[in-house]
């Protein structure tokens, strides 16, 4: 059975990029008769307050993008919240003992709790704290709580993306040892997403192409934790009319400022994503017959100036 998922980070109001992501995840899973899980990625509770999560859930309902499970919320349609699942991440971290080391570099963990998107840039960790002696670690630990990093191997990790095709990265060269837990104890996105996708039986992950380069890291974690990885489908990013990646900071792309119906929105997004040429208003259900991954472009999609003109 196919299991897809929505995994939004509620750091603001849902925007067009998130909606396209949820729409594609929904269509890809439902077309195969699959289920959909909703997981709220609110590890960084300061950036992701509950009111945003509630709003996101209301927005998804309004869009008619439904999901199937989430026993923690008490009801069969309730979502999972990463902020309530830290015990699972801790257990996974313990399994990686020996491969993890404390890192005292101050800027080490800046973005670790949220998925690394294009505007965050990519820094390659130089391995500064990898070979500290026990005495150096003890001395540094008196001044500062460490983040925890995973040692990565100097070999290529290959996979075939369901939409983008073959992709490979050498973690040592292209990424470096990466953070699994920040110095304040917050677990990193890379660890949480693997633990959760595996625990929730997710068989396909649909997300924006800027997370393509996180996938080799995640595949390495699947391997170490002896978990079965899902299939991955990375789709092109939506760019603003002037060519920037849309973010929650783009008020123009948020639902607040769009005076349209859910059907108008889905129809237009499906048109931009290549599988609904007419752009006519449609429910998600109504797009099922037309959707196929082959029709979706591989290059970034630039939004027109007036999306609903």
Q: Which of 207, 217, 234, 276 binds ligand GLU (CB under 6 A)?
A: 207
Q: Which of 76, 95, 151, 248 is catalytic?
A: 248
* Sheet strands side by side (includes 3-6): 3-6, 35-40, 80-81
Q: Which is nearer to ligand GLU, 208 or 267 (CB)?
A: 208
CA atoms within 13 A on the CB side of 232: 25
The beta-strand segments (E) located in 220-286 are 231-235, 238-239
| Binders in 104-143 for ligand GLU, by CB under 6 A | 115
Q: Which is nearer to ligand GLU, 41 or 69 (CB)?
A: 41
Q: Where does 121-199 have alpha helices with state H?
A: 134-143, 171-174, 189-199
Does residue 248 carry a catalytic annotation? Answer: yes
Q: Which is nearer to ligand GLU, 8 or 176 (CB)?
A: 8
Lookup result for tokens 């998600």: 284
* Alpha-carbon torsion, ordered 62, 26, 88, 138, to 10 deg: -90
Separation of alpha carbons 9 and 13, rounded Å = 10
Nearest CA-CA partner of 120 in 301, 302, 252, 247: 247
Q: Which of 23, 56, 193, 255 binds ligand GLU (CB under 6 A)?
A: 193
Binding part of the chain for ligand GLU, among 2-10, 102-110, 132-140, 164-172 by CB under 6 A, reads 2-10
Separation of alpha carbons 162 and 91, rounded Å = 30
Binding part of the chain for ligand GLU, among 6-14, 142-150, 221-229, 262-270 by CB under 6 A, reads 6-14
| Binders in 23-62 for ligand GLU, by CB under 6 A | 41
Q: Which is nearer to ligand GLU, 41 or 109 (CB)?
A: 41
Q: Which of 4, 8, 12, 229 binds ligand GLU (CB under 6 A)?
A: 8
Q: Which of 9, 28, 183, 282 binds ligand GLU (CB under 6 A)?
A: 9
Tokens of 107: 């800027």
Cα distances from 104 to residues 67, 108, 109, 275, in angstroms, run 41, 8, 10, 49
Does 229 bind ligand GLU (CB under 6 A)? Our answer is no
**Active-site residue set:** 248
Residues that bind ligand GLU (CB under 6 A): 7-9, 41, 115, 193, 207, 211
């Amino acid at each position: 059975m196919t299991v897809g998922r929505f995994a939004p980070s509620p750091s603001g109001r849902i925007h067009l990029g998130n909606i396209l992501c949820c729409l594609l995840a929904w269509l890809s899973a439902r077309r195969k008769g699959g289920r959909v899980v909703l997981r709220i990625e609110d590890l960084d509770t300061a950036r992701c307050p509950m009111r945003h999560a509630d709003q996101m859930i209301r927005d998804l309902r309004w869009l008619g993008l439904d999901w199937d499970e989430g026993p923690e919320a008490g009801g069969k349609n309730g979502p999972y919240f990463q902020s309530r699942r830290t015990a699972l991440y801790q257990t996974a971290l313990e399994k990686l003992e020996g491969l993890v080391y404390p890192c005292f570099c101050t800027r080490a963990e800046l973005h670790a709790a949220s998925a690394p998107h294009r505007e965050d840039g990519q820094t390659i960790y130089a391995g500064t704290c990898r070979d500290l002696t026990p005495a150096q670690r003890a001395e540094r630990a008196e001044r500062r709580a460490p983040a925890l990093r995973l040692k990565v191997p100097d070999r290529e990790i290959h996979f075939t993306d369901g939409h983008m095709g073959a992709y490979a990265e050498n973690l040592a060269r292209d990424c470096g040892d990466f953070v699994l837990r920040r110095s304040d104890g917050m677990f990193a996105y890379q660890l949480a997403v693997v633990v959760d996708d595996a625990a929730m039986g997710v068989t396909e992950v649909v997300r924006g192409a800027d997370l393509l380069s996180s996938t080799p890291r995640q595949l390495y974690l699947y391997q170490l934790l002896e978990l079965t990885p899902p299939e991955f489908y990375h789709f092109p990013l939506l760019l603003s009319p002037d060519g920037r990646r849309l973010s929650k900071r783009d008020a123009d792309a948020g639902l607040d400022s769009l005076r349209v119906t859910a059907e108008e929105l889905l129809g237009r997004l499906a048109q931009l994503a290549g599988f609904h040429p007419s752009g006519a208003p449609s429910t998600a259900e109504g797009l099922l017959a037309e959707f196929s991954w082959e029709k979706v472009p591989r290059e970034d999609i630039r939004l027109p100036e007036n999306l609903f003109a």
